[in-house]
Amino acid sequence: MWSSSVVRRVVLTLALASFSLAGSTIHVPSTSTVKESVLPPRGWAQHNRPHPDHKIELRIGLPQPNFHILEEHLYEISDPFHERYGQHLSKEEVEELVAPHPESIDSVTAWLASHGFQEADLERSPAKDWVYLTVPVSVAEKLLDTTYYVWKHVESGDEFVRTTSYSLPDHLHAHIDVIQPTTMFARFKGMKTTIHSVEDAVKEFQPPKLDSSLNADAHVPVDPTCNTTITISCLQQLYNAVGYTPSANINNSIGITGYLEQFANIQDLQSFYTEQRPDALNTSFNFVSVKGGINSQNLSEAGAEANLDVQFAFGLSFPIKSTFWSTAGRPPFKPDATEPENSNEPYNDWLDFVLAQEEIPLVISTSYGEAEQTVPKNYARRACNGFAQLGARGVSLFFSSGDGGVGDGESDPALQQCFTNDGRNVTKFMPSFPAGCPFVTAVGGTVNVPEIAVDFSGGGFSDYWSQPKYQQNAVNAYLKKLPEGLYKGLFNPGGRAFPDVAAQGLRFRIWLNGVPRSIGGTSASSPTFAGIVALLNDARLKKGQPPLGFLNPLIYSKGGDGFNDIVFGNNPGCGTPGFNATKGWDPVTGLGTPNFKKLKDLLT
């Protein structure tokens, strides 16, 4: 195991090798050049100029010159065959490995000071790799030598204050990775396909009984009602977790992220527990506000996404300690107002917040995302690096893989909307973000008993990240099965492939606004899988073993036999039938759905 002092020495040695500070001086040249430029994105229309006093919170990302060392640590401590497996890093060790070089800090600070900003005007992340500055639009335009406009998303009506290009003094290009909000047009939406009316959910029903004999080896039939209604009991039977009792007293934990004013209602949770998890009745979760996020308990404001995530993740893992974060910010907003009503980047607000905490839940599920191409590559990479930091600290991160199949979910070529936003308008499969980040575990969807792939299950290959070593054997085996030339040019066969795993994604019975409803989407699959992993952490912690942390190197190797392979179904989109589920890994259901008892035997 590398001690904190060893980590510090390695970082210092490489930092000194990379930079020579002897006699260095910081100067401010007079010339500026474009740092980042994008074409007007498809589906967005430029409108009027925003009020000059409208506030923007600029996020300035400084380079992380030693991130590659953090990545090496992450893969070593996540590899079950490495001697360092499970030896997760501390918050302080991670921060040292992502800290920018002092020259970058000094250069950016001097540049801001030249525009009249003092240290008291700035906020910095604990590692000092981000600088935050709230300024009027008029000031941001001078700082970045750009012009902001109000842009409107034609389909939804969402409005953002954005620019398509910004510039920096030449000497700063090496000291700043990215500045946002500038060129980012991602809308970051919830991953749910359907929410049915009250009449579509049986108002009164008897949940299937928890009979451990029903699913002793995960191959016998589960209760037939699970083909029409998914409950906690159905998931326990399907995934071979019937009869397992986790502990509330071993420092285990699970968390759910909430955005876009999606509130998790406690009254609905109690109704859900009464019906499906009576031993959890009168218990709740720990609520944490991020940047002023609230969790309104007005029953009429309960969120379908938040209720789904909380009820099933916490219902499956009860009585493990649970946390629900609510992060402020959602479109639409009023771009003519002077106050910053919405930065439109709530996801990274959450990431910044949680990285600054000493203690973080060991398992976290997120059911939100966006098409990868709508997130500027530099910004997406920085967010992905943040996920790696959480993984290095022993956190397992799960993201819904998306609900559009290989793109828009449309199999009719005449109706497909999968076009690149680089000005070419070329038809192409649309990978999802954050699901395509190699440092997270992406969860696809299944349906029915026996399980098949649900047709909206997002999956494919990233255009931003190359294929990580941990999945190459599994993915290449799949690619060899594809007919020669199939979908040539529509996807990147060398990209990070997703999803990694899958779980049920349709007909989940939740309580919403005081009544039962049926809901579906990979937004149901991710919290389900997260709940199972929280149980696995329980089994490990009881034996004095560390939590699982970043899961992918493990599941693609030692844990591979702990999954139910899904071999039927496909994920249409972009005017095509999409990819097929097949034996082994596939870009619809990944490695398959979890078999808890098999995984527990393999991993403890």
Looking at residue 191, what is its pLDDT? Answer: 61
- Looking at the structure, tell me whether residues 279 and 375 fall in a common domain: yes
Residue type, 539: A
Q: Judging by DSSP bridges, how do beta strands 321-327 and 286-290 pair with one another? A: parallel
Catalytic: which of 322, 365, 523, 526?
523
Q: How far apart are CA 549 and CA 394, in angstroms?
A: 4
Residue type, 419: F
Looking at residue 337, what is its pLDDT? Answer: 58
Residue 4 lies in a domain: no
In the residue annotation, 158 being an active-site residue is answered as: no
Residue 278 neighbours by CB distance under 10 Å: 9
Catalytic: which of 96, 158, 268, 309?
309
Residue 20 lies in a domain: no
Catalytic: which of 79, 93, 95, 305?
305
State the alpha helices, DSSP H only, in 482-584.
522-542, 552-555
* Domain end point (choices 149, 184, 219): 184
- Looking at the structure, tell me whether residues 137 and 266 fall in a common domain: no
- Looking at the structure, tell me whether residues 294 and 432 fall in a common domain: yes
CB 248 within 8 A of CB 320: yes
pTM for the model stands at 0.91
Inform me whether the pLDDT recorded for 204 exceeds 80. no
- Looking at the structure, tell me whether residues 388 and 421 fall in a common domain: yes
In the residue annotation, 167 being an active-site residue is answered as: no
How many domains, in total, are found in the chain?
Answer: 2
pLDDT tens readout for residues 310-346: 999 999 999 999 999 999 875 445 566 555 555 556 7
- Looking at the structure, tell me whether residues 141 and 249 fall in a common domain: no
Lowest mean per-residue pLDDT among 148-162, 372-386, 573-587: 148-162
Domain that holds residue 54: 32-64+99-184
Structure-block tokens of residue 247: 């502990």
Inform me whether the pLDDT recorded for 260 exceeds 50. yes
Q: How far apart are CA 507 and CA 201, in angstroms?
A: 8
Q: Could you tell me which residues are annotated as the binding site? A: 565-566, 584, 586
pLDDT tens readout for residues 457-469: 999 999 999 999 9
CB 404 within 8 A of CB 456: yes
Q: How far apart are CA 393 and CA 381, in angstroms?
A: 19
Residue type, 595: N
What average pLDDT does the segment 336-363 reach?
Answer: 79
Looking at residue 334, what is its pLDDT? Answer: 59
- Looking at the structure, tell me whether residues 512 and 402 fall in a common domain: yes
What average pLDDT does the segment 490-495 reach?
Answer: 98
Q: How far apart are CA 55 and CA 149, in angstroms?
A: 13
The dihedrals phi and psi of 257, each to the nearest 5 degrees, come to -95, 140
In the residue annotation, 223 being an active-site residue is answered as: no
Looking at residue 209, what is its pLDDT? Answer: 55
- Looking at the structure, tell me whether residues 492 and 387 fall in a common domain: yes
The helix (run of H) or strand (run of E) holding residue 465 is strand 460-466
The helix (run of H) or strand (run of E) holding residue 323 is strand 321-327
Strand, coil or helix: 498: strand
- Looking at the structure, tell me whether residues 206 and 161 fall in a common domain: no
Q: Could you tell me which residues are annotated as the binding site for Ca(2+)? A: 565-566, 584, 586
